[in-house]
Structure 1
């Protein structure tokens, strides 16, 4: 290797250093990362102080992470990278329900609940019933599918953000679909809310003149044996910021009307007073064995 490397030869030297990487997927990733990162540096031509500021920003981002806060996920979200990954992977299963970002608040295990339970018993606000079915893309119901849900309360906070005010597990629940693939649970209609702005990502938003708000939504992770796992949202139609989500996660197919239901019989069935707010979403899963992918998986040893 030459000791006097110019901008172009330096890039090639770094790429060449990965030539003995045993994992072909990892090798391809490292080569592409190096080439694109070096091209970015050549294009921007940062000063030494700017590069140091970038390193300090990433260091501060890491230091902000803890057991209930993931600042790097937040950074990925506000840069649109999380949704880009989701959108690229959605192209493999276009007939399934659209996926969206995991978000930074899936940090604690949701409590197991029975169908019809109230996941937000500590929260005040408009009572709602969320119901639907989990189906195969062929239309067949999927019984015993596992549904993990979590949401903010009506003031825009998740349980982990308000220790001493909300118990861990409020606004969360683990459910299983019935023999017809159906599910339902009670909650409150969540509010729009700002993503955390007290860290480096908040500083980035302020410096770029961007707002930090997300429209009202409920998160879902749906899993079933033999099917590809799905991470998605149900967005409350008409919510503020529905057209300017800070993390770019809104998809038209996931915007649902939360409308009043004035049927006393339905209220009695769901164990709520009449009238109540109702949101409906059917979730379509793609069979795992039929999910096309030409990509390799990076060896587990690399990410340990």
Structure 2
């Protein structure tokens, strides 16, 4: 009877080649990697591919119609794209700065409260608990020129003779969107900056008071430099959100009047789903993503500089 044991030339039994086993941590993470690949990576690759095609939602056969960089060239030569691009940068800049100023003010006030701070923090976080869609509807009805409470108060308390069309007027529509965005997201800045204030060492503040510094000097040269990393973290988080603003704009103005409030992502939605030009829309979307990445890298660089300025912990 022949043995199945392998032998070497000298007659000694050969050692079996050990099988490589997959480490247990990798086995445990494989379902997560698979889920990320299906949910995130595959859609990104598909959308990136379609940005180089003439793909239309109403004609699946156009998915294989390769046109190269034509969608991107069309976007960069389109005046409406550059108008939406500039409007998005303006919207992002004003909203971020207002949220920072208001959030910092709220955080400084709450930091001075000794009793009931937890209850006030809970109340302060209410706006960020609402969906942007609900906030859009809320402000849309509040600013309505016929039934809105804002116009009613202006006529009742301030004697306005006629209602003001906040969402129809070309000059006030974008300001109304910024107001809704700031109301919804200021608590994010306030919470992060309040955490920074609560972690602020007391010794430098007490030393500045002993040296005769005023409250403004203490804030300017002691508190604010310490808060800069927290400020840049907040700006990074919010720049990603504001840069892809869609819900509030879609509900309140839908890009009107006459496209005066159309941002990059509302333009993407209009081209993709109203006009069915998904390939062209995806090209604009990837340009928008690139803008968001540049803002993120800018704030990360500022964050690194602020940490170096603070010195080693």
Higher helix share: 2
Give the greater-gyration-radius structure (CA).
2
TM over 0.5: no
TM-score (norm 2): 0.24
